[in-house]
Amino acid sequence: MVPRDRPALRSIPIPKDRRYQPRRVGYSALKRFTARELLSYSLLFFALAALLVTIYSLLPWLIKQVPAFAVGGELSGWGQVVYGVLAAMLGFTVVAVAALILILMLRKYLALVQNRYGPLHYGPAGAFQTVADAIKLLVKEDFTPGKADRLIFTLAPLMVFVSALLLLTVIPFAPGWVLADTSVGLIIIIAAGTIGAYGVLLAGWSSENKFGLLGGLRATAQLISYEIPLALSLLTVAVWVGSLNLSAIVEAQRLWWTALPLFISLLVYLIASLAEIKMVPFDLPEAESELVAGFNTEYSGMRFGFFFVAEFGELFLLPAIAVTLFFGGYHQPLAGWWDFADVLRGWGGFGEFLANLYGLFWFLLKTALLSWLIMWLRATLPRFRDDQLMELCWKALIPLSLVGLVVAVVLRLVFK
């Protein structure tokens, strides 16, 4: 219900004098324009993701082509090392691309809600805006505050960034497309979040700035507190499914998604993940209009870029985890009854790849919808005060997550 707006644009990017054009009553052409752009960005995202996972899936085959790395049709020791390094770089690329597109989609989505255009200049309809921002951050002067502890000042953003990357390694994008198919994937997720909290604390402390320290302490308190409902809600899934392996959890949701019996835990997880990403309404640590500018006061240039990319990487990854654990991962809805992926697999070798792409499509669609939900909250809500934040965590979410755990145990005893 935003005001009826100007007539449609004929050419991008900047319309001519808007002042004396008559207002047209009806649907806003501005919003149609921006919605079109959002759709095209989503398609771009899927195309890029498809490209990356295609490379990923071809990676073992590619490495086996080099005779030194292949021993009898399997990867040798060195081959596995190379595979690991290349896969990790691929993972980093995935996170970076995801963050890049999500930043752009956030800005465009906010613009859509706020009846404005968003980034328009760089690239077709502003698609390269994030690249321009990254270049800007790279060419900034790299300095460390005089009295700061240089080693920790440099390490802190890296810790936050690496913790975001760690989350990537255990998420199954498609059947068999996991970077590290460990049997304790869920524990890795919880642990990665903890490393991130430590990085934030060190960032605030090493800034030698009392405002930064205050912000860092507040942020750390928030992150550590919200780890508990996060972990508890994740563990309820493990209780219900009976395994900590994420691929097994996804496979167990072939027919019914975990969200149906465990909706309490889903709710707790969604709210706790908002706090972990430090997104509105929990973005007090990095809020600019509060007095204290936050733990990343003293960081500029690419150091700040690490925090930024980590935050938006988590904006992709935490909903991805939610999708994996609660919404069936890469399965289409009601895959237990009729799955189009099985149809695709029936076509032979290439069909396997197509079935995986189909699964990837569903995975990304669900993740995008959850990310959109978070962006929607960002556009709408004001932020909580920090004591209200803490109150919400300790007095509401933790009891609720314990209730969810009990529900999971009871349901498992009843149904299995």
Partner 1 sequence: MLRPTELAPVPGAQEMLVNLGPQHPATHGVLKVVLGIDGERVTRAVPHIGFLHRNHEKIEESRTYHQVIPYLDRMDYVSGLQNELPFCLAVEELAGIEVPERAKYIRTALFELNRIISHLVWIGTYMLDLGAITPFLYAFRDRELALDIVERTTGGRMLPNYYTFGGVRRDINPRFWQELTDFVDYFEGVLPEYEALTVDAPVFQARTVGIGVLPPELAVNHGISGPMLRASGVAHDLRKDQPYDAYPWLDFEVITRSEGDCWARSKLRCQEFYQSIELIRQCVKKAPRTGPYLGKGRLKIEAGRQRYRAVEASRGQLGVYLYSDGGPGPYRSKHRSPSFTNLQALPDLFVGQRFSDVIAILGSMDIVLGEVDR
- DSSP single-letter state for residue 13: S
* Closest to 335 in 3D by CA, of 233, 416, 257, 391: 257
Nearer to partner 1, 282 or 308 (CB): 282
Using the contact rule CB under 8 A, the part of the chain among 147-155, 284-292, 348-356, 403-411 near partner 1 is 284-292
Using the contact rule CB under 8 A, the part of the chain among 248-256, 263-271, 275-283, 315-323 near partner 1 is 275-283
Q: 98 phi and psi, to 5 degrees?
A: -60, -45
Binding pattern to partner 1, positions 229-248, x when CB under 8 A? --------------------
CB of 129 to partner 1, least distance (A): 18
Q: Kindly identify the residues of this chain, within the stretch 377-406, that bind partner 1 according to CB under 8 A.
A: 378-388
DSSP H helical ranges for 75-206: 77-113, 129-138, 150-169, 185-206
CB of 365 to partner 1, least distance (A): 26
Q: Kindly identify the residues of this chain, within the stretch 97-156, that bind partner 1 according to CB under 8 A.
A: 110, 113-116
Total interface residues for partner 1 by CB under 8 A: 29
Nearer to partner 1, 2 or 369 (CB): 2
The length of the chain in residues reads 416
String of DSSP letters for 303-372: HHHHHHHHHHHHHHHHHHHHHHHHS-TTSPTTTTT--HHHHHHTT-HHHHHHHHHHHHHHHHHHHHHHHH
Q: Is 123 exposed, middle or buried (0-12, 13-18, 19+ CB in 10 A)?
A: middle
CB of 140 to partner 1, least distance (A): 20
Under rule CB under 8 A, residue 16 binds partner 1: no
CA distance 92 to 165: 7
Nearer to partner 1, 40 or 380 (CB): 380
The continuous run of DSSP H or E covering 70 comes out as strand 70-71
List 26, 67, 289, 415, residue binding partner 1 (CB under 8 A): 289
Judged by the rule CB under 8 A, the positions of this chain that interact with partner 1 are 1-3, 110, 113-116, 210, 280-281, 283-284, 287-291, 378-388
